[in-house]
Amino acid sequence: MAEASAPGKAILLGEHAVVYGEPAIAVALDLRTYVTTVPRPGGITVHGEPLQDKLFPHLRKAVEMTGARDVELRIESELPSSAGLGSSAALSCAALGALLRSRGHDVRASEVARLAFDIELATQEGRASPTDTTTSAAGGGVLVDSAPGPGLLWSFERNGKRWHLHRVPVPELTLVVGMSGQRGRTSEQVARVAQVVQRDGLGTVRELGDIARAGAKALAAKDQEELGRLMDRAHAGLRTLGVSTPRLDELVQAARAHSYGAKLTGAGGGGSIIALTREPERVVHVLESKQCPALVAKLTPRGVEAAP
């Protein structure tokens, strides 16, 4: 047997823009996905059933990349799917960790991040960034940018695009995550943004990148008020790109009454919102009054981990 786990994430600023070379900032959440491998003849199974590519495309790619044979995969997750919290990246990283360990390999965050990014590219038709997968592999706070800078973790180049992944210190923040109950598919929202960019150009994308740059400065200054204002601006930009929904807008507006700022997080089209606040209980109450399950999110420095 081999076991590994990896965390989910929340994007503070820069989602979608990062696909076009603009910066983004993400933080790892203390909500994890766990994968266990058990040797078992008869091919690759998930909880005893044959692996179905349509249900688990990320697992199929992980199996192919690691050369695994005759193994059963068992999955437990604290992350809701299609909620914008990096569930697919956490699954890819945890599965890679378990499969690599089962074959006697060391589990290195840099290698898991590289392989998991390639899985995301394959399952999203080439439109993906390494934001989610690096945050899940490395834990903590991550800044993705088109140029290298202080705190560089690693760099990737795919299809003529280059991303540089940095460690960014994150002060103590209190985030409330509200789950809209709507399901959003990342691949569909990435394609939607591509259509908007083709029609209207990169103006909004570049504005979101500028907001993320300002957000890095706000984090360094531990200025939560400024960070909240930037989150509000970012949500407006994501609305312009067409990835928000009336439900997400309603929840964001409700959360702002007791927050520095709030926005959707992740690909959009459903999923979750995040609110930066010093009154988390009040934000949770407001969101739950709108039939929106909510939780106070803890950040974690822990990335992908394999059992010894």
The catalytic residues are 132
Residue 237 tokens, joined: 């930009």
Q: Give the type of residue at 20.
A: Y
Q: Write out the chain in H/E/C secondary structure.
A: CEEEEEEEEEEEECCCHHHHCCCEEEEEEEEEEEEEEEECCCCEEECCEECCCCCCHHHHHHHHHHCCCCEEEEEEECCCCCCCCCHHHHHHHHHHHHHHHHCCCCCCHHHHHHHHHHHHHHHCCCCCCCHHHHHHHHCCEEEEECCCCCCEEEEEEECCEEEEEEECCCCCCCEEEEECCCCCCHHHHHHHHHHHHHHHCCHHHHHHHHHHHHHHHHHHCCCHHHHHHHHHHHHHHHHHCCCCCHHHHHHHHHHHCCCCEEEEECCCCCCEEEEECCCHHHHHHHHHCCCCCEEEECECCCCCEECC
